[in-house]
A and B are shown apart, each in its own frame.
Chain A
Amino acid sequence: MNRINKVFEDKKNEKIMSLFITAGYPDVTETVDLVLGFERNGADIIELGIPFSDPLADGPTIQYSSNIAISKGITIQGIFNMVVDIRKESEIPVVLMGYINPMLRFGLENFFTTAAKAGVDGLIVPDLPLDEGGMIEELARKNGIQLIYLIAPNTSDDRMQLSDQKSDGFVYCVSVTGVTGAREGSEVQQSVDKFIQRSKANITKNPLMVGFGIKNFTDAQNISSEVEGFIVGSALIETIRNSYPSEHWKEVVFDFVHQLKFGYRNS
């Protein structure tokens, strides 16, 4: 069974926490260690971001982390090598998340076969909606990489159903219309309830993971009360940004991760 499906199968009684980290941020030498630490502190799924120079679905935080990673010389092959290293020590599901252009330049066929060999489980491409997904769906299926589509509050019922059909692993609910980034709690919660209800009615094959704007344990619990789990990215990267490279920066980051999942520090 695919590692993503297995997590949802094994952890039916808890909220699944997926953490997004830009590969190569804050440095290419830190990514593997961060991922393993996230897992020790409660992460159930890792979304490894492939940095892109022009991330048009992302807010200032992920733009920043992407630029740092690119300036540190991150490459797609380097990211696959990171996954290989993670796989030496861990069976945590790894989902790559990135824009289509770097994948096209790497070569789609090569991208999928190398990803599968490295131990990648899933893929999210924010600028590849259902309408264009045809260019990778067959390659993903053939290589056992689960393709995860995003749905937004303004996605129609029909499109939600189609996203469910075309996705494997889970479907990603973008809680607000907007770019990635931490938001004030009330702003997220108020608009999201109706959307979650509609998503649940239309997404029947896959688990639902909700993301965009979650910054702490309370946000996470509130927003994911009706779905299988939640995704945090920008708030995690902000935490790294605020503590790196101070002496105990990793402890601060891992504490934050533990709090996100369990509501209390790991000590």
Chain B
Amino acid sequence: MSVITKTTYSEPNQKGYFGAYGGKFVPETLIPALNELEKAYKEASEDPEFEKEYLYLLREYVGRPTELSFANRLTDHYGNAKIYLKREDLCHTGAHKINNAIGQILLALRMGKKRIIAETGAGQHGVATATACAKFGVECVVYMGEEDMVRQKLNVDRMRLMGAEVRGVSSGSKTLKDATNEAIRDWVTNVEDTFYIIGSVVGPHPYPMMVRNFHRIIGDETKRQLMEMEGRLPDYLIACVGGGSNAMGIFYPFINNDVHIIGIEAGGLGVDSGQTAATLTKGRPGVLHGSMSYLLHDQEGQIELAHSISAGLDYPGIGPEHAYLHDTNRVEYRAVTDAQALEAVSLLSRMEGVIPALETAHAFAWLEELMPTTSPDEIVVLNCSGRGDKDMETISKYL
């Protein structure tokens, strides 16, 4: 395995780089805001009171720790390694996204910001942000592509019910990429009083690091729970990757351990179909939304449209830390198709009584490839990042 397992992992560096990836590729107007954020985040992360309040809210409001469930029927079905599910679908609002939204809103309040903006794709981060804003009584504007507003109508209604303003974005592909552009434009314009809660491990430094750190509780809990149940670490760790926040959350505490880590991208109709969101598999390095990472872009450097059945993975970029973990071979990245993900939704629902989000189902689909290569004395942990209620309309079409 790579050099990282032999030394202590300490990415990113002072300039916000994970190897060659990351950085701050933003207009000058945002530099003071990023510097202010970096300073405030550093102070907050060294303040025991901040951590105490964050952990209090995760316990009393979000419902942490989430369970690590032994998937006995799924294990029997494959007949090899034991399979455990980290149940982020049990978090309040139905996905891991709330961990980060709570962390960032506490930071925003600490910085005296009065207005929150966010971008959302599947709507899970938008819902998490709207939830946190309702809980603290703060103004909330969520940018969402008009295409996604149709695909994820339930989440639009949830956000509005909690008092958030959902602004439809009609530019470009009308999806997450364009919602992110629009949120950045809002931030450039209202930089004095506005805090931008980014929903994944993407964007300019310090966001990729900060969002990872607000989600690392997923991996920290997993480690502790598995030690209690099995007295050891897992052999395999699997999570789906769009921007990559749930994956970084569960991967990060295991980076220095001898664990085989696998990230699953959305292959769409197939990685060579031209209708894919498999950024690491098919993309090349470039700059989008404030950081250097892998991207889907054409020969002229124009960003290409991603495709996935899952709105949350339908993004032509990926967090810079994943790009680094990919290049250093610390994490294995693979892709599964829309069809494979749908099969996995069905299998997990019937076998375990857990209906996963379409995003999450991509990670489960990889079990078909992985499980035949494992043995009964091994352990696989999957991050069950979100529940599938929001996707029922899409899923119903294929039943």
Contacts and interface: CB of A to CB of B under 8 A. Distances in A.
Given A52-B301, A102-B302, A179-B185, A152 B29 contact: yes
Given A54-B172, A54-B181, A177-B191, A104 B286 contact: yes
Contacts of A74: 300
Nearest to B303: A53
Contact of A154 (B29, B184, B288, B297): B29
A101 B297 contact: yes
B300 A131 contact: no
A175 B95 CA distance: 42
A34 to B, nearest CB: 21
B300 A76 contact: yes
Contact of A177 (B25, B29, B177, B285): B29
B28 A151 contact: yes
A129 interface: yes
A217 B358 CA distance: 55
A60 B184 CA distance: 14
- Size band of the interface chain A makes with B: 35 or more
Contacts of A130: 28, 31
A99 B23 CA distance: 15
A57 B302 contact: no
Given A105-B299, A106-B301, A178 B189 contact: yes
B24 A131 contact: yes
B31 A129 contact: yes
B185 A127 contact: no
A174 interface: yes
Nearest to A57: B27
A80 B33 CA distance: 35
Given A131-B15, A151-B28, A177-B191, A104 B287 contact: yes
A129 B27 contact: yes
A105 B300 contact: yes
Contact of B297 (A105, A150, A155, A163): A105
B185 A54 contact: no
A173 B27 CA distance: 12
Interface in A107-130: 126-130
Contact of A129 (B24, B178, B181, B297): B24
A127 B15 contact: no
A105 B295 CA distance: 11
B189 A101 contact: no
Given A100-B25, A151-B28, A177-B191, A54 B300 contact: no
Nearest to A60: B171
A228 B144 CA distance: 41
Contact of B300 (A75, A127, A179): A75
A263 interface: no
Nearest to A134: B15
A152 B27 CA distance: 9
A70 interface: yes
Nearest to B302: A53
B301 A101 contact: yes
Nearest to B171: A63
A130 B184 CA distance: 19
Contacts of B295: 101
A63 to B, nearest CB: 6
Contact of B27 (A53, A60, A101, A127): A127
A106 B191 CA distance: 32
10 contacts: A59-B185, A76-B301, A105-B300, A126-B27, A131-B24, A149-B28, A154-B33, A155-B31, A178-B189, A179-B188
Given A53-B303, A54-B177, A154-B192, 12 more contacts: A53-B172, A101-B295, A104-B285, A105-B300, A127-B25, A127-B287, A129-B24, A131-B23, A131-B24, A154-B33, A159-B28, A177-B188
